[in-house]
Amino acid sequence: KTYELAANDGQNHLHGGLKGFDKVVWKAKPLEGKGWAGIEFTYLSPDGEEGYPGNLAVKVTYLLTDENELKINYEAETDKPTPLNLTHHSYFNLKGQGKGDILDHVLMINADYFTPVNDQLIPTGEIKAVKGTPWDFTTPHPIGQYIANVPGGYDHNYVLNKKEDELTLAARVIEPESGRIMEILTTEPGIQFYSGNFLDGTITGKGGKVYHKHYGFCLEPQHFPNSPNQPNFPSTILNPGEKFESQTIFKFSVESVR
């Protein structure tokens, strides 16, 4: 049987469709424990929503810890085989609100390979070594150092150096002026790095500040985009009787400012 998903990015399906999980109302429950506080969100996506098969029960838990961590835990179950690829799409600027772009942030991504894309930013199925390319962040360097050599800017999935389902350091970002550090750990096999290429000044944030191009970046732990069409990518199909589980941790700290 063929399932046709909602096309909301040209001919492609992005962020779950016209009304993705970021646009639905979730049930919420506060949580609290020793050294942490959080909230649990649950949602039942009915069979056929945005074209997806199966009734999908999803639970996402956000925990803030005394160790300056944001822990995100995902769980999901379905009654029909269905593709599932959950992530977190926050934008970050470690300089702070209204302090300019993120091109001087120093980034490390723990990945020797990435998945090249076509002119619609869809992975082609190729898995390519980053060495010798502008996509190589194995050695930390400023985001803007080679961005002029990347058509349109960074919006690519990286194949993390890790064992399956192992919680591993995926990326580290340092803002050199403030010394603020963000580390991302995840059980996911990939991470999407997006350098805010489509921010165009039409979004206004805190204090009336406007978000221009490259004023924020995203690091989104997930399975590889376009996985259902690429058999060599890790599968995103969740089957009845299986339970999807995933964890991502954003950890914040400060280094000594020179």
Closest CA to 123 of 93, 85, 66: 85
Residues 6+ apart with CB under 8 A from 257: 177, 178, 179
Q: Identify the DSSP state of 144.
A: T
Q: Which SS3 state, helix, strand or coil, does residue 250 take?
A: strand
Residue 78 dihedral angles phi and psi, to the nearest 5°: -140, 160
- CA separation for the pair 102, 144 (Å, rounded): 8
Number of helices (H), then strands (E), in the chain: 0, 18
- C-alpha pair distances (Å), 195 with each of 55, 62, 90, 172: 34, 24, 12, 15
| Strand residue runs (E) in 4-110 | 27-33, 36-45, 56-65, 69-78, 82-83, 106-109
Give the tokens for residue 136: 């190589």
Give the tokens for residue 79: 């009654």
To which H or E segment does residue 203 belong?
A: strand 203-204
**Count, residues in the chain:** 258
- CA separation for the pair 63, 33 (Å, rounded): 10
- CA separation for the pair 168, 187 (Å, rounded): 6
| Catalytic residue list | 89, 220
